[in-house]
Amino acid sequence: MKCNNPNCKSERFIQICGKTSDMCFAFHEPSKTEGNGYVPCGLGFDDGSGDYIDFKLCLDCGTIQGKYPISDKKVLKAIENM
């Protein structure tokens, strides 16, 4: 696997996983929207269950691996559903 940052292409990653036990906090800067509860789903750092944070981070550029950009509309919906 290579980094999805077009300026990097590193093959060095760390995978981060953690159980939040429904105690996740999310804050969307432009709208000042926040949520508490489940991990927001569909944003590239969850396992789909709402309980676990799970993502890969490039150790050379710091890019979280996934499909980006993500629209503000999708982020706000994910926070609303926490």
Provide the domain limits for residue 47. 13-77
Whether residue 8 lies inside any domain: the answer is no
In order along its 82 residues, the chain shows pLDDT tens digits of 999 999 999 999 999 999 998 899 999 999 999 999 999 999 988 888 889 999 999 999 999 999 989 999 999 999 999 9
Whether residue 2 lies inside any domain: the answer is no
Determine contact, residues 13/56, Cβ cutoff 8 Å.
yes
Whether residue 6 lies inside any domain: the answer is no
Q: In sequence order, what DSSP letters do the residues of 43-80 get, joined into one string?
A: SSSB-SSSSEEEEEEETTT-PBPS-----HHHHHHHHH
Q: What is the pTM of this model?
A: 0.82
> What is the number of structural domains in the chain?
1
